[in-house]
Chains A and B, each alone.
Chain A
Amino acid sequence: MRHLPRLRGAVSASLCCSSPTHIRTTAVAAVATTSSSTKTQSLQRRNLSTSLPRCDAVEAYAPPQGLKPPPQGWKTAVRPDKITDPAYEPAQDGLGLEEVGGLDGWWENPANYGTGRQWVGYGPAEKVIDPAVLEVAVYRALVEAMIARGGVKTLTARMFAVSDSLLGSEWGPETLTTTTVQTKLCVGSNGALEFKSTPPEPQLEQKVTEEVDTAATAKQEAEPTEGANETEVLEEAREEVEVKEAVEVQEEGLTEGPISSETAQALLKEIGHEWKKATIKDYVFKYFVAKRIQKLTGHIIPDGKLVAINTAGTLLREVVRPPKAKKLVEEIENKQLFQSLPNVRVFPRRVTPIDKEKMVGRWKVIREELERRGLPVIGTANIDNAIEKKWVTGAK
């Protein structure tokens, strides 16, 4: 690590995280190797905290699932140069040995490694890349972000919880997407995004009202005591809403994945293009939209890009734009360049002399002839450069 004396300063106390109250006891995992030959290694221990992580992302904590430790009593063979027994004779093959093999690649076996250790992010398991679905998702995100923004603006705990749960909910049944998309957005007098009919469509309003009621019920059931933490109440309300949503979805028997491309194409005809001209400037609203888009599509819009996004159309373009190709050949393939030129071919790598010989069908003959003469097919084998070169150049 580099240290600059001028810049080294004590880290303020606010940086050092205090131990949370909800975690279990912290203990350093003392891992002693059972190897008989690695006494020195047994003294080396990994610093591992067995406590839960000191962040709120506890839900991402992988539950124990099928991690299989190696059989105990495992011994590592003593190195031949360390053996003092004069009668020792090293084995020539593994036939007479009691056990062979090591623990290399122990975790490569799925039976040992267990399952369900994949990273679960905030959003669908796979990123949505279909442009039509993405456009519907952006539109839906805008509608729901407007509702959530309205809820937050009222500054009530109930609406706050509802807005939070609304932003964090999954795609839900397809009817929900249809209802949301049927809510028309337009450009207001000041260029900002607005609902065409105020208040928004009755069905959507009903959905939000239901969620408000759910949150209110949850809050009443929680019966906050005098000392109860406000955030705890919110958490409980949010959980209640989520549970109810999950139950509703199960009852309807519909999946919560993204809508199909065909459905999206049909919905796009209803959406139109007017909303794309609307300006988006409020940072909180942008945050809501970005969060919703991330949940629906898996696309993370970085803050640096959000600053430059000022209209709904720019936002859509940012989400739909495919990632930049890493190689020139990929770019050429994507853009279908040089298709009409008969004398232009594109190769993914350098065309070597061997490639050229292969193209004319001569390489097979050359290889056979080289092998027949006992010459190296590729490279120079052990044949050095001419010794005279060394004399001339004086190189060592």
Chain B
Amino acid sequence: MAGKGMRCLSEAMRGLSLGAPTCRTVPVRTAPLISRRSMATEAPVSNITRSVAEQWTPITTVPVTVHAFPTLEPRSLETYSAKHLYLPLRRDILHLAVVYEGDNTRQGTAQAKTRWEVAGSHRKVRPQKGSGRARVGTKQSPIQRGGGKSHGPRNRDFGTSLNRKVYDLAWRTALSYRYRRGELIVTEDGLDLPLPEDFLQQAQDGLLTRELEDAFIQKYVGEMLGAMQWGKAHGRTTFITGDERMNLFTAMEVAGENGTALQLQDVDVKDLLETGRIVMERSVLKEMIRQHRSDLVSSIVVPGMKHLKEPALGTVLYPLPKSPVA
């Protein structure tokens, strides 16, 4: 103890001395040479720094192959901006969008009657005293059988709000997620399911009952999507078209275990995240992105300022329009 006290005192005296620095600094203790680490164990210098010669060029556009359906023959090639179809995965934004959609989908029509809404007389059920039983005011009381419900569900709007730019970003993030995983298949316009001609003829002639029709479609579509590895065993398929296509929508209604068909106006972000793959027409993809790019375009024009140019939507690379000139 004495030693410690003496050390403190000597330190204090040194601090007060004239030779002490005005700004007190932490003394750096230099280790003796013997205890220093040997250079043999030093990690090698990492080579993660890039060479200046290799300039980093980020991907600005991504290709989209347009297929024929159902052969899946590649027919043409388009490019979309990376801001449309090659966004990084943001699960938080997708979660926001799905919750927002779920909230706005709720009907909110549940309602239970309160004691003020239950019909009946408000007469006192029995005298206040003398019956030997509990006092009861009215039979609408929540503690009575057939009485009103206290704190029951009421009609209300469960809808929440989400900034439009966030929602649009979520939409394109969902598309990008599908694109990166190879689960976004774009087809030519006019996507429909070709049912066999002889079947359609017999159906038109009234030779088949509804049950037989359904059974045929179920078998045919199941076998077809199974062969394409698009069926139930491979996570089902969502088809998205611009308007209703009779055969496709009927077939997917009948053979719902293998997938579903939606019109563009019925599609949500959640639909894009469900099932094994998304199959859509090229014009649907274009329209979908056009409707959800509020964070990329600006309607504000300031004179003298450079207007932010929005990325092009679906530039055709091959075949170029009117390119093959004889």
The A34-66 residues at the B interface (CB cut-off 8 A) are 34-35, 41, 44-50, 52-65
A288-330 to B contact mask, C-beta < 8 Å, 1/0: 0011001000001011111100000000000000000000000
Q: Are A32 and B191 neighbours in the complex by a CB distance under 8 Å? A: no
Q: Are B75 and A11 neighbours in the complex by a CB distance under 8 Å? A: no
Q: Are A57 and B242 neighbours in the complex by a CB distance under 8 Å? A: no
Determine if B14 is an interface residue (Cβ-Cβ < 8 Å): no
Determine if A103 is an interface residue (Cβ-Cβ < 8 Å): yes
Q: How far is the CB of A49 from chain B (nearest CB, A)?
A: 4
Residue of A nearest to B57 (CB): A281
Q: How far is the CB of A55 from chain B (nearest CB, A)?
A: 4
Determine if A33 is an interface residue (Cβ-Cβ < 8 Å): yes
Determine if A17 is an interface residue (Cβ-Cβ < 8 Å): yes
| Contact residues in A for B317 (Cβ distance below 8 Å) | 283-284, 287
Q: Are B203 and A31 neighbours in the complex by a CB distance under 8 Å? A: yes
Q: How far is the CB of A4 from chain B (nearest CB, A)?
A: 5
Q: Are B188 and A107 neighbours in the complex by a CB distance under 8 Å? A: no
Q: Are B71 and A64 neighbours in the complex by a CB distance under 8 Å? A: no
Determine if A1 is an interface residue (Cβ-Cβ < 8 Å): yes
| Contact residues in B for A122 (Cβ distance below 8 Å) | 68, 71-74
Residue of B nearest to A108 (CB): B219
| Contact residues in B for A106 (Cβ distance below 8 Å) | 212, 215
Q: When chains A and B are docked, how far (Å) is the Cα of A203 from the Cα of B59?
A: 39
The A112-127 residues at the B interface (CB cut-off 8 A) are 113-114, 117-122
Determine if B262 is an interface residue (Cβ-Cβ < 8 Å): yes
Q: When chains A and B are docked, how far (Å) is the Cα of A103 from the Cα of B209?
A: 10
Q: When chains A and B are docked, how far (Å) is the Cα of A67 from the Cα of B199?
A: 7
Interface residue SS majority, chain B: mixed
Residue of A nearest to B284 (CB): A15
| Contact residues in A for B220 (Cβ distance below 8 Å) | 117
Determine if B283 is an interface residue (Cβ-Cβ < 8 Å): yes
Q: How far is the CB of B164 from chain A (nearest CB, A)?
A: 8
Residue of A nearest to B198 (CB): A64
Interface residue SS majority, chain A: loop
Which of A149-157, A174-182, A245-253, A350-358 lies on the face that meets chain B? Answer: A149-157
- B325 is contacted by which of A33, A50, A155 (Cβ under 8 Å)? A155
Q: How far is the CB of A200 from chain B (nearest CB, A)?
A: 22
Q: How far is the CB of B36 from chain A (nearest CB, A)?
A: 46
| Contact residues in B for A14 (Cβ distance below 8 Å) | 283, 287
- B243 is contacted by which of A17, A35, A61 (Cβ under 8 Å)? A17
Q: When chains A and B are docked, how far (Å) is the Cα of A61 from the Cα of B228?
A: 15
Determine if A373 is an interface residue (Cβ-Cβ < 8 Å): no
Q: How far is the CB of A257 from chain B (nearest CB, A)?
A: 18
Q: Are A57 and B201 neighbours in the complex by a CB distance under 8 Å? A: no
Known A-B contacts A17-B190, A30-B206, A55-B191; the reply to A160 vs B324 at CB < 8 A is: yes
Known A-B contacts A107-B219, A119-B224; the reply to A16 vs B197 at CB < 8 A is: no
Q: How far is the CB of A73 from chain B (nearest CB, A)?
A: 12
Known A-B contacts A17-B243, A48-B195, A307-B59; the reply to A31 vs B224 at CB < 8 A is: no
| Contact residues in B for A108 (Cβ distance below 8 Å) | 219
- A65 is contacted by which of B193, B198, B216, B263 (Cβ under 8 Å)? B198
Q: Are B187 and A46 neighbours in the complex by a CB distance under 8 Å? A: no
Q: When chains A and B are docked, how far (Å) is the Cα of A277 from the Cα of B203?
A: 57
Total B residues in contact with A, Cβ cutoff 8 Å: 89
Q: Are A50 and B201 neighbours in the complex by a CB distance under 8 Å? A: yes
Q: Are B243 and A69 neighbours in the complex by a CB distance under 8 Å? A: no
Q: When chains A and B are docked, how far (Å) is the Cα of A49 from the Cα of B247?
A: 6
| Contact residues in A for B247 (Cβ distance below 8 Å) | 48-49, 53
Q: When chains A and B are docked, how far (Å) is the Cα of A81 from the Cα of B70?
A: 47
A225-254 to B contact mask, C-beta < 8 Å, 1/0: 000001000100000000000000000000
Q: When chains A and B are docked, how far (Å) is the Cα of A159 from the Cα of B206?
A: 50
Residue of A nearest to B202 (CB): A69
| Contact residues in A for B63 (Cβ distance below 8 Å) | 283, 286-287, 303, 306-307
Q: How far is the CB of B204 from chain A (nearest CB, A)?
A: 4
Determine if B170 is an interface residue (Cβ-Cβ < 8 Å): no
Q: Are A2 and B101 neighbours in the complex by a CB distance under 8 Å? A: yes
Determine if A8 is an interface residue (Cβ-Cβ < 8 Å): yes
The B166-199 residues at the A interface (CB cut-off 8 A) are 179-184, 187-199
Determine if B268 is an interface residue (Cβ-Cβ < 8 Å): yes
| Contact residues in A for B239 (Cβ distance below 8 Å) | none
The A367-389 residues at the B interface (CB cut-off 8 A) are none
Q: When chains A and B are docked, how far (Å) is the Cα of A86 from the Cα of B214?
A: 36
Residue of A nearest to B59 (CB): A307
Known A-B contacts A62-B197, A119-B228, A307-B86; the reply to A15 vs B192 at CB < 8 A is: no
Closest 6 CB pairs of A and B: A302-B182, A15-B242, A64-B198, A54-B190, A160-B324, A122-B73
Known pairs A2-B101, A103-B209 / 9 extra A-B pairs, C-beta < 8 Å = A17-B242, A34-B209, A48-B203, A53-B190, A56-B75, A120-B71, A283-B63, A303-B62, A303-B63
What are 22 inter-chain pairs, A to B, with CB distance below 8 A?
Answer: A7-B291, A29-B203, A31-B210, A31-B213, A35-B209, A48-B250, A50-B200, A53-B192, A56-B188, A58-B194, A61-B194, A113-B219, A121-B72, A156-B325, A283-B79, A284-B77, A284-B317, A287-B317, A302-B182, A303-B65, A304-B179, A304-B184
Interface residues of B (CB under 8 A from A): 59, 61-65, 68-75, 77, 79, 86, 101, 104-105, 179-184, 187-204, 206-216, 219-220, 223-224, 227-228, 242-243, 245-247, 249-250, 262-266, 268, 270, 281, 283-284, 287, 291, 317-320, 322-326
